[in-house]
Amino acid sequence: MIGGVSVSESVELASCADPYPSRVGQSSAILTRLDPVVHSQSFEGGPIPRHLVDEYEERGFLVLENMFTPLEVRSLQEEVALLQENHRHADNETCIAEPGGHTLRSIFAVHKSASSFARLACDRRLVELAQFLLGDEVYIHQSRLNFKPGFRGKEFYWHSDFETWHVEDGMPRMRALSMSITLTENMANNGPLMLIPGSHKHYVACSGQTPENHFQESLRKQEYGVPSDELLLGLANEGGVFSADAQPGSVIVFDCNTMHGSNSNITPYPRSNAFIVYNSLQNQVVVPYCERPPRPEFICTRSAIEPITIREGGISSG
């Protein structure tokens, strides 16, 4: 039972053609996860020790500290400053503003527009881990920078990324993960990523239906594709709420179906993180499961999907 709803009650829903139906007019419900969390069969010679693999499988995420050096973080931060400057006046579709304002909230597809983020996305430290956990060659489904400036940075409400990627992008199965690279200190009080341990084991089907051009609203403030209060309470009662406090240069790796979100930031200290989403080459997106046209390429890679080739040389080199 999660939040008073039994898992078996909802199995019926999952037996139709779409294994993960959501926003199809039903009320919020818990369905069974049908996919593994760790897709590799063998743990020999993996990029992380076995106990961390087990932790990822059990909790749905890992916090890896000191993955990037202060020098590497500095070159990423410099590129962030350039991007912010270049995008300030530009009418660029990859820039997402905060709700009700013009403050920059996110910049999407940074692995295409900024050379150090292109190098970051192909870095061995990230790619080998993604390939290992997903048990396949990988490609970039999405990349973005999320800014949460001091004083007025806004929250990201609770959601499972997979729910959105499945419904709106047509990602068939749970064989993707995010890596959040911390570019500033993420402290308990400046709106760090919060995750619900164990939540990735349940698929929360959401109520409502996907509005037209939903991304124009959802990337600023998500209102569809969010679980009911009751189910969130059930998940949190079961797993707790973990706040991923970390120094710059850390990586938070989380399964595509881990329930997560973050609070607003009223401290004077900005919080910014880069996100790179890796998807298995065998899990390429198909037609979206909602009856809406696909979202734009800068949010979801659909054309010319190529497996990533690891690039040596670190982040800073040109």
Q: Quick count: other Cβ atoms within 10 Å of Cβ 64?
A: 17
Task: Tell me whether residue 61 or residue 156 sits nearer to ligand 6CS (CB atom).
Answer: 156
72 is an interface residue for Fe ion by CB under 5 A: no
Only one of the segments 82-90, 139-147, 153-161, 231-239 lies at the binding site for Fe ion (rule: CB under 5 A); that segment is 153-161
| 199 neighbors 37 (Cβ within 8 angstroms) | no
Task: Tell me whether residue 113 or residue 218 sits nearer to ligand 6CS (CB atom).
Answer: 218
Smallest separation (angstroms) from ligand 6CS to the CB of 7: 25
169 is an interface residue for Fe ion by CB under 5 A: no
Smallest separation (angstroms) from ligand 6CS to the CB of 169: 7
| 29 neighbors 205 (Cβ within 8 angstroms) | yes
Task: Tell me whether residue 53 or residue 196 sits nearer to ligand 6CS (CB atom).
Answer: 196
Residue nearest to Fe ion (CB): 161
Task: Tell me whether residue 72 or residue 161 sits nearer to Fe ion (CB atom).
Answer: 161
Indicate which of ligand 6CS, Fe ion, none lies near residue 258 (CB less than 5 to 8 Å, by partner kind): none
Backbone angles phi, psi at 174, to 5 degrees: -85, 85
Only one of the segments 4-12, 159-167, 185-193, 227-235 lies at the binding site for Fe ion (rule: CB under 5 A); that segment is 159-167
Task: Tell me whether residue 28 or residue 257 sits nearer to Fe ion (CB atom).
Answer: 257
Indicate which of Fe ion, ligand 6CS, none lies near residue 23 (CB less than 5 to 8 Å, by partner kind): none
Binning the chain into helix, strand and coil, the percentages to the nearest 5 are 30, 20, 50
- One DSSP character per residue, 202-264 reads EEEE--S-PPTTTHHHHTTS--SS---HHHHHHHHHHH--EE--B-TT-EEEEETT--EEE--
Residues that bind ligand 6CS (CB under 6 A): 142, 144, 156, 159, 161, 164, 218-219, 222, 299
What is the distance between the alpha carbons of residues 176 and 134, in angstroms, rounded to a whole number? 7
What is the distance between the alpha carbons of residues 110 and 274, in angstroms, rounded to a whole number? 9
Smallest separation (angstroms) from ligand 6CS to the CB of 161: 4
Q: How many residues bind Fe ion (CB under 5 A)?
A: 1
What is the distance between the alpha carbons of residues 276 and 309, in angstroms, rounded to a whole number? 15
161 is an interface residue for Fe ion by CB under 5 A: yes
Q: Quick count: other Cβ atoms within 10 Å of Cβ 194?
A: 19
Smallest separation (angstroms) from ligand 6CS to the CB of 83: 17
Note the residues at the interface with Fe ion (CB under 5 A). 161
